[in-house]
Structure 1
Amino acid sequence: MTENDTPKKIAIIGECMIELNGKPFGNMLQTFGGDSLNSAVYLARAAKQQVQINYVTAMGSDALSEGMIQRWQEEGINTQFVLTDNTRQPGLYLIQLDDQGERTFLYWRNQSAARYMLQHRDFELLTTKLEKMDMVYLSGISLAILPEKDRKTLLTLLRKLSEKGVEIAFDSNFRPALWPQNEDWKTVKDHYAELLSFCDLALVTFDDEQAIWQDISPEAALDRLEHAGVKKAVIKLGAEGCLYKNLQKKESDALFITTTPIEEVVDTTSAGDSFNAGYLSGHLTGLEPERCCVRGHQLASAVIQSQGAIVPLSATQSITNQFKLTD
């Protein structure tokens, strides 16, 4: 990308919550996070003004909401798509870590402002702005938090955006507790299947795909995504690496891109979110898929060596500086 090029525009739809990180009745770190917001922050750091990142959500008018929005702006995120709900506040979650850095979550989000963003009187005004985006990105959590009627409304909107040429990117990011516990995850499958039918780029984790669809292998997941209508897919395999395939080129082979092992993993909370950000920072600036995957691995590797969903800028700076130098 040259100085005269217009930056690509991405809208990221989701929820940011207050984060408490630590041991109950012990030391707690209070910050903020949420899968889509995590990706927005790390994309802003990785893209270094080569991409315009617009976050789409609803927040309260309270001091915590205002403080979070200010910090997003400091990260370089455009917050003009953030709606203000004077009757609600952000949700809250608690992360508990085990000795291996793996985490469990407790949530308080049923009445969060983001859950009702599509019912906000000004949400319709955002739809015309979304048509001007190059890409819209969301996750399974972005869908799961919404009331059922609003999920259908959002899927209809995304399909229309796709028909107008906006690229749709999706991370299935499956959280069972957020979905109806019906047989064989029918509600999840129905919603995901509709979105995947017009999805340009799927950035999914194999464990999630296996839990929902019972895929027997990453290759089987790629085959299913191809038949679902997805154009390009990345299957994240944790410490092993990832599998990429252009599903429109039936004769092409999947690419397996390894990652460098990390000796000391501190916190895996944003591993997938930061991988997505690293990948998208390359994708939106025209890099080849393999290089995009390498970016994703490098950024995620830096993030999991610090605690919290949003790690300090210093923890990712050397990697994101390297992106600009090498690409």
Structure 2
Amino acid sequence: MRGIATIGECMLELSGQSGETWRLGYAGDTFNTLWTLRALAGTERDADYVSAYGDDPFSERQIAFFRENGIGIAESPVIAGARPGLYAITLTGAERSFTYWRADAAARQLARDPATLAKSLENRELVYFSGITLAILEPSDRAVLLEAVAEARRHGTHIAFDPNYRPRLWPDAAAARAAIDQALATVDIALPTFPDEQALYGDQTPEDTAMRIERSGVGEIVVKNGEETALIAHYGGRQGSPAVNVATPVDTTGAGDSFNGAYLAARLAGDTPAEAAVRAHRVAAAVIQVRGALAPVDVLKMAFRA
């Protein structure tokens, strides 16, 4: 098989520096996960970010940045006149807030061509997507995406998914629940975050989250819970995985995404779910000690191998 792919939207990221100086970067939940996966899963695997791109200078530079870091775009369309979404991060201590400009982003068209999307996912070892991937798509395009993911799974690809519920991206909670429930039917590994699941489904405990997702047919679930212990549910078994405490985090951006990337990289390497979660917690703890969504590769590798 030809490696790994994640699906979604990578935006231009403006992060505040000093005064009115801003730094331009590239980030988005599924891209952050791919960044970590690419760093930790080995260069022998192809790594592609499946989306849709514009033909403006910012899109061209974004694709070049991917290429410089060993990430391709598979058969993703480049759309004339389109452009990427943009967001800005402001920090209060280590906590971040976001302002978005993404209503007409090219990535919203990533599933407009079913044949091209299917080809991008063809013969993959692992495909990963998220609830944000679902949320940016029109319902008809969302159906195309889920069919492409299901078809890849039927041909032996492992599918991983983080529901990553963001209320502002959905018309209402019912629409989010319906789409996420449909997605879970295509999934081998689910990586939810408990506060998100509590907000969307009313789950009272991480165990409630695991049990509900198991009823969708998912055999491997890791319920992340911030600084609290994560719950691993693996084909009926249960095990806790304590988080790594960081007394003075610098920037929590991308912590959950990096956990997901490290967990999946460890599973690809043959680790058990419990072993993979230990490594993922270490990587997430390292990521929140540096600024930005994309931690330096050497930081990721050092934490992963510790």
TM-score by length of 1: 0.88
Is the Cα contact below 8 Å between 1:8 and 1:50 reproduced in 2?
Answer: no
1:273 to 242, 257, 277: 257
Is the Cα contact below 8 Å between 2:110 and 2:117 reproduced in 1?
Answer: no
1:55 to 43, 49, 60: 49
Matched residues, number: 306
Is the Cα contact below 8 Å between 1:241 and 1:297 reproduced in 2?
Answer: no
- What percent identity do the matched residue pairs reach? 38
For residues 49-70 of structure 1, give each alpha carbon's deviation from its aligned partner in whole angstroms, at most 9, with x where no partner exists: 2533221011112221121222
Aligned residue for 1:240, secondary structure, equals: coil
User: Equivalent residue for 2:167?
Assistant: 176
CA distance in 1, matches of 2:298, 2:123: 33
Where do 1:77-226 residues align within 5 Å?
Answer: 77-99=71-93, 101-120=94-113, 124-181=115-172, 185-226=173-214
Q: Does 1:237 align with 2:225?
A: yes
Amino acid of the structure 1 residue aligned with 2:263:
Y
Alignment CA distance shift 1:319-1:75 (3 Å): farther
Is the Cα contact below 8 Å between 1:65 and 1:89 reproduced in 2?
Answer: yes
CA distance in 2, matches of 1:145, 1:76: 26
CA distance in 2, matches of 1:316, 1:127: 31
State the Cα distance separating 1:23 from its structure 2 match. 7.5
Q: Does 1:69 align with 2:63?
A: yes
Is the Cα contact below 8 Å between 1:54 and 1:81 reproduced in 2?
Answer: no
CA distance in 2, matches of 1:57, 1:125: 11
Where do 1:18-57 residues align within 5 Å?
Answer: 18-22=12-16, 26-57=20-51
Q: Does 1:301 align with 2:285?
A: yes
State the Cα distance separating 1:197 from its structure 2 match. 1.9
State the Cα distance separating 1:240 from its structure 2 match. 1.9
Alignment CA distance shift 1:135-1:315 (3 Å): closer
For residues 186-223 of structure 1, give each alpha carbon's deviation from its aligned partner in whole angstroms, at most 9, with x where no partner exists: 11111111111231100110011111100000011111
Amino acid of the structure 2 residue aligned with 1:198:
T
State the Cα distance separating 1:166 from its structure 2 match. 2.0
Amino acid of the structure 1 residue aligned with 2:257:
D
Of 132-141 and 150-159, deviating more is 150-159
Where in structure 2 are there 5+ consecutive unaligned residues?
none
Alignment CA distance shift 1:34-1:196 (3 Å): same
Is the Cα contact below 8 Å between 2:75 and 2:116 reproduced in 1?
Answer: no
Is the Cα contact below 8 Å between 1:42 and 1:274 reproduced in 2?
Answer: yes
CA distance in 1, matches of 2:64, 2:303: 24
Aligned residue for 2:246, secondary structure, equals: coil
State the Cα distance separating 1:230 from its structure 2 match. 1.2
CA distance in 1, matches of 2:61, 2:229: 36
State the Cα distance separating 1:231 from its structure 2 match. 1.5
State the Cα distance separating 1:317 from its structure 2 match. 4.2
Amino acid of the structure 2 residue aligned with 1:72:
F
Is the Cα contact below 8 Å between 1:50 and 1:285 reproduced in 2?
Answer: no
Is the Cα contact below 8 Å between 1:36 and 1:273 reproduced in 2?
Answer: yes
CA distance in 2, matches of 1:49, 1:312: 16
Is the Cα contact below 8 Å between 1:8 and 1:285 reproduced in 2?
Answer: no
Where do 1:283-294 residues align within 5 Å?
Answer: 283-294=267-278
The two structures, once aligned, show a CA RMSD in angstroms of 1.9
For residues 56-85 of structure 1, give each alpha carbon's deviation from its aligned partner in whole angstroms, at most 9, with x where no partner exists: 011112221121222222222233333211
User: Equivalent residue for 2:239?
Assistant: 255
Amino acid of the structure 2 residue aligned with 1:75:
N
